[in-house]
């Protein structure tokens, strides 16, 4: 293999990591808002405000997931095949949850009957809670190691994924995304709903910090055992960021608190990928069976074509999504929503 080929493999591993980082940062607060919907939404106006807060952007945020999956399939087909064969049930549950969640966003406003809205609100909650939990379980397992044989095929069962480290990863992602969503609501709402969102986020900050500390400490031990990289500054910064959230919210520095939760999500995801590299999946059977950026990648030609396509279209996609957030940047005020509801009635 020539050096250019190795560089392309590393480049695409890094690009896929960036796609997952962007997805968790953006979709994380979507999940958080959906999880908090039944707890912060005391009446239909509150729930409508919460849905409207993420309504213009949630589907755009999921584009990051689609591109990450497509890039993995094209750049590292062996990784994609092994991942989907072993994580089939978990990924199916995530996909089903995301589908029902998307349908709920579109259909909850089609009927004014309270029971109709309650059923779709439940779909939003579960469609947010399940992925928030299962993504953490999945990535913790990828890093910890799963049964992959010498032919790079899955050699285990679904229950191999339900180990303590992976479950801690799921709890960590669930709490962190919920916290991220609560802080996001302090930026997008006003009046009593904003204060309740801030109060709930402050309550979530401590358990989220404890979960992040436990997960990163266990990841450090796991990295030493599996010959991974132990990047000290990155996980420490992730922990410091989430630990600062409660104080920032107490001081009503909501924008900084949102940056802190987002930074923690970014750095934890980066920690996972840094500890994986140059592997893409760790085998719990033998290190010789690990999937790496070399034995799981596509051809040099495929990676070259993909690189040119990414260079052309990525700036366009980023510009469009940035424009979307700019257009819908204003705070959603309860008085405006009440006025719209009254006029519609």
Task: Match 């040119």 to its residue by tokens.
Answer: 308
Average pLDDT over residues 212-227: 82
Describe the crossing of helices 114-144 and 88-107 by its angle, rounded to 10 degrees.
150
Q: Is the pLDDT of residue 1 over 70?
A: no
pLDDT tens digits, one per residue of 258-280: 999 999 999 999 999 998 988 99
Q: What one-character DSSP code corresponds to residue 9? A: H
Q: Which tops the pLDDT comparison, 342 or 48?
A: 48
Q: Is the pLDDT of residue 101 over 90?
A: yes
Residues 123 and 104: their CA atoms lie apart, in Å, by: 6
- Token output for 140: 């913790």
Instruction: Provide CB contacts within 8 A for 142, sequence distance 6+.
Output: 83, 272, 276, 280, 281, 282
User: Buried b vs exposed e over 1-38: b needs ≥16 C-beta within 10 Å?
Assistant: eeeeeeebbebbbebbbbbbbbbbbbbbbbbbbbbbbe
Q: Is the pLDDT of residue 314 over 90?
A: no
What whole-number percentage of the chain has pLDDT above 70? 95
3-state secondary structure of 25: helix
3-state secondary structure of 227: coil
Q: What one-character DSSP code corresponds to residue 162? A: -
Q: What is the DSSP string of 279-338?
A: EEE-BSS-GGG-EETTTT---HHHHHHHHHHHHHHHHHHHHHHHHHHHHT-S---HHHHH
Instruction: Provide CB contacts within 8 A for 183, sequence distance 6+.
Output: 29, 197, 201, 245, 249, 254, 257, 258, 261
Residues 273 and 280: their CA atoms lie apart, in Å, by: 8
Average pLDDT over residues 160-188: 95
- Token output for 250: 């107490």
pLDDT tens digits, one per residue of 106-149: 898 888 888 888 999 999 999 999 999 999 999 999 999 899 98
pLDDT at res. 231? 63
Domain boundaries, the chain: 39-344
pLDDT at res. 177? 98
Average pLDDT over residues 145-171: 89
Q: What angle do CA 7, 10, 13 make, to 5 degrees?
A: 150
Q: What angle do CA 269, 274, 275 make, to 5 degrees?
A: 100
pLDDT at res. 345? 57
Which residues pair with residue 146 across a beta bridge?
A: 283
Q: Tell me what the pLDDT averaged over the chain comes to.
A: 90
């Amino acid at each position: 293999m020539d050096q250019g080929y190795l560089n392309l493999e590393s480049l695409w591993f890094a690009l896929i990591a960036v796609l997952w980082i962007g997805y968790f940062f953006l979709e994380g607060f979507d999940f958080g808002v959906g999880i908090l919907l039944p707890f912060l939404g005391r009446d239909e106006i509150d729930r409508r405000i919460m849905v409207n807060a993420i309504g213009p952007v949630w589907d755009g945020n999921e584009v990051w997931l689609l591109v990450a999956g497509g890039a993995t399939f094209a750049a590292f087909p062996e990784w994609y095949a092994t991942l989907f064969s072993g994580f089939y049930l978990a990924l199916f549950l995530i996909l089903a949850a995301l589908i029902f969640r998307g349908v709920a966003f579109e259909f909850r406003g089609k009927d004014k009957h309270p029971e109709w809205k309650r059923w779709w609100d439940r779909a939003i909650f579960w469609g947010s809670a399940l992925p928030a939990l299962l993504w953490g379980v999945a990535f913790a397992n990828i890093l910890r190691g799963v049964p992959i044989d010498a032919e790079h095929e899955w050699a285990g069962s679904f229950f191999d994924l339900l180990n303590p480290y992976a479950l801690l990863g799921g709890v960590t992602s669930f709490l962190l995304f919920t916290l991220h969503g609560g802080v996001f609501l302090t930026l997008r709402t006003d009046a009593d709903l904003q204060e309740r969102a801030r109060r709930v986020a402050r309550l979530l900050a401590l358990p989220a910090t404890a979960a992040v500390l436990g997960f990163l400490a266990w990841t450090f031990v796991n990295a030493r055992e599996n010959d991974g990289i132990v990047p000290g500054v990155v996980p420490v910064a992730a922990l410091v960021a989430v630990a600062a959230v409660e104080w920032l919210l107490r001081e009503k520095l909501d924008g900084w608190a949102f940056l802190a939760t987002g930074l923690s999500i970014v750095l934890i995801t980066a920690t996972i990928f840094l500890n994986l590299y140059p592997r893409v999946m760790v085998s719990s059977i033998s290190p010789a069976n690990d999937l790496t950026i070399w034995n799981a990648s596509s051809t040099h030609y495929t990676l070259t074509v993909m690189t040119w396509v990414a260079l052309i279209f990525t700036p366009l996609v980023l510009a469009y999504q940035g424009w979307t957030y700019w257009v819908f940047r204003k705070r959603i005020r309860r008085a405006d929503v009440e006025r719209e509801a009254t006029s519609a009635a």
